[in-house]
Each structure stands twice: as C-alpha cells, then as structure tokens.
Amino acid sequence: MAQPLVTASRQYKPGEIAPTSGIYAVIHEGHRPPHELLVIRGEEFPPCRTCKLGVVFEPVQAVEHLTHDLDFAGLVLSTPELRGEHRGARQLSLIEKRRD
Ligand SMILES: [Zn+2]
C-alpha cells in the first residue's frame, strides 16, 4: 500500500524542523489571512515578524526537492555519453583525416 504524501495534518511551530519538502499553509494569529509557502525538508520553521511564535505551519502537499530525489541526488556525469566524449572522439578523428 502506498504511503500518503502527508501522513497527518499536524501543525508545526516556529523552531521545529520541516519533516518534508512541500507546500505549507501558514496560519497567523489574526493579523494576516492564511497563505501558502514552499518549505524545504530540514529547514527550521521561523517565527513571524508580527505574531512571532503564534504562527503555525500545516503541510498541504509534499513535493520532493530536486536534489533530494533518488534519481537526481548526487548525480555524477560518469558515463562517456553524458560527458560528451563520443562527440569529442569523432571531432578528433575528423582532424586526423584532414592531416592526411
Ligand atoms: Zn504572523
């Protein structure tokens, strides 16, 4: 069974660490309507400039960050195809032919 993107709609307070990257609803203490922000996993939820520790963050939609994705994280261009070495080798052979 697939895991839900957001396991629980618990709220996070300033000082807590974002468990997942994604869109979070930001709920202030009355001075501003709720709005949404992108938060990256591992970032600390900050206090609000106005309502300070009264703000809460609620996950809306989990979105994986590019560099945290299994297929892209720490990718090294390790194959000749990706480094463009085939093209380089072909160009070298053309230069050698011109010398003849
Ligand atoms: Zn606020």
Model confidence pLDDT, tens digit, residues 50-66: 999 999 999 999 998 88
Expressed in angstroms and rounded, the spacing between residue 62 Cα and the centre of ligand 1 is 23
Expressed in angstroms and rounded, the spacing between residue 56 Cα and the centre of ligand 1 is 9
Expressed in angstroms and rounded, the spacing between residue 41 Cα and the centre of ligand 1 is 21
Residue 46 and residue 15 in contact, taking contact as beta carbons nearer than 8 Å: no
Expressed in angstroms and rounded, the spacing between residue 32 Cα and the centre of ligand 1 is 7
pLDDT of residue 85: 62
Please, which residues have CB less than 5 A from ligand 1, an ion?
Answer: 28, 48, 50-51, 55
Cβ neighbourhood burial of 14 (10 Å; 0-12, 13-18, 19+): middle
Rounded Cα distance between 39 and 56, Å, is 13
pLDDT tens-digit readout, 41-99? 999 999 999 999 999 999 999 998 888 888 888 777 666 666 666 655 555 555 555 65
pLDDT tens-digit readout, 5-39? 545 569 999 999 999 999 999 999 999 999 999 99
Q: Tell me how many degrees the CA angle 3-66-58 measures, rounded to the nearest 5.
A: 50
